[in-house]
Amino acid sequence: MGVQMNLISKERLSKMGSMEKIRMILDSVKEGKIVVLETGLTPEEEAKLIEQTMLEIDHENFIGIEVESYPYKEKSVFSRLFGKKQGRLTVIGPANRLKTLEKQEDLIKALIT
């Protein structure tokens, strides 16, 4: 059985509201797909994604998600004070299919089963 990966571009994400992103991610993951976001989510969006996931857990069909992102890199004092923090690349998948093996600043190793 193959694994479908949805690679979502920065441009597409920028056109979506926070709840639209979360719904798209959860719907895809509930179907067993792996979602890769080019620019990741803000900390607030990631928290809301986890919150929404907890509300939708069904131990027979949907046990949760696995989320891994590269750490956010701050560019300047100005961006730290006024910039919107957003993760870099983010990988999201069903908790029973995506396992993080190793995470470094510039490398995420994951096993998809």
> What are the structure tokens assigned to 36, written together?
């890769």
Average pLDDT of every residue of the chain: 86
pLDDT score recorded for residue 80: 56
Q: For residue 91, how many C-alpha atoms fall within 13 Å in the half-sphere facing its CB?
A: 19
Say yes or no to pLDDT of 19 above 90.
yes
Say yes or no to pLDDT of 84 above 70.
no
Q: Which long-range contacts (CB under 8 A, 24 or more apart) does 24-29 make?
A: 25/49, 25/92, 26/52, 26/53, 26/56, 26/65, 29/65, 29/92, 29/93, 29/94
Across residues 6-32, what is the average pLDDT?
A: 95
Across residues 27-48, what is the average pLDDT?
A: 92
Distance separating the N- and C-terminal Cα atoms of the chain: 9
